[in-house]
Amino acid sequence: MSAAARVHEYRLVPDGRGAGVGPSVAIITAESADGPPGRRGRVRFWVVLGQHAYRRLWAARTVSQWGDAFNTVAVSLLVLRLTGSALGVSAVVAAEVVPALLLAPVAGVVVDRYGPVRVMVAADVTRVVLAAVLAGLTGSAGTVYAVAFGMSAAAVFFNPAAGALLPLLVDEDELVVANSGIWTAAVLSQIVLAPAAGAVVRLSGTRRRSWSTPPASSSPACC
């Protein structure tokens, strides 16, 4: 039995306060757990992380968040370069919000029908394919909007599937710590990697320009 588990035992004993009214009973509750109240062990994150199944899920979610952080920054800067407009960047946000509004009501039904693992794999494969399309077709902002819509739609199915999988991997008293560990890694990924993504995009653009610009010595000197 886990440290937070409790067992309640109910015994019916005469109460003695219901004379003349009929049988009367009092309920005595006995509570037991591993250790006295106030000294029960707390669930530690590294203990939960030591479980192989949870560690795999945590690592997969964390790496996925790394990609999401880079994708968000790169897509926004790409649209800004293609349109030169802040309104164009806001359209990317709209393209990512609309799928959540449309598909969130049915995402849970899909997860229940096909299973969380299948839905998670299908969602991430879809996002990989769309990212490859985005890398090959970056000539128009419309393509970027469509890819952003599709990737957000895949995330709408991925997130509830991952949430449904977590209770199958850890005990009930470990759920809060396990869920907190996943979301803490996600938030830290966004905080740390979003600036790093901007730096990578800037460095990539600088190198591309330096490669495309011929050196000055290659031009014939004028006499």
Domain count, the chain: 1
Please give the residue range of the domain that contains residue 128.
45-196
The pTM score is 0.64
pLDDT of res. 21: 38
CB contact burial 42-69 (16+ within 10 A = b; e otherwise): ebeeeebeebeebeebbeebbebbbbbb
CA 141 to chain centre: 27
- Structural domain includes residue 173: yes
Q: Which residues pair with 10 in a beta bridge?
A: 29
- Structural domain includes residue 24: no
- Sign, CA torsion 98/104/105/109: positive
- Structural domain includes residue 21: no
Query: What tokens appear for 215 in the block?
Result: 């050196």
Residue whose C-alpha is closest to residue 92's, from 104, 78, 105, 103: 78
pLDDT of res. 169: 87
- Structural domain includes residue 4: no
- Structural domain includes residue 36: no
- Structural domain includes residue 161: yes
Q: Which residues of the chain have pLDDT under 50?
A: 1-40, 206-223
- Structural domain includes residue 29: no
154 close to 22: Cβ distance less than 8 angstroms = no
Do the bridges between strand 25-32 and strand 7-14 make them parallel or antiparallel, or are there none, so unpaired? Answer: antiparallel
144 close to 186: Cβ distance less than 8 angstroms = no
- Structural domain includes residue 38: no
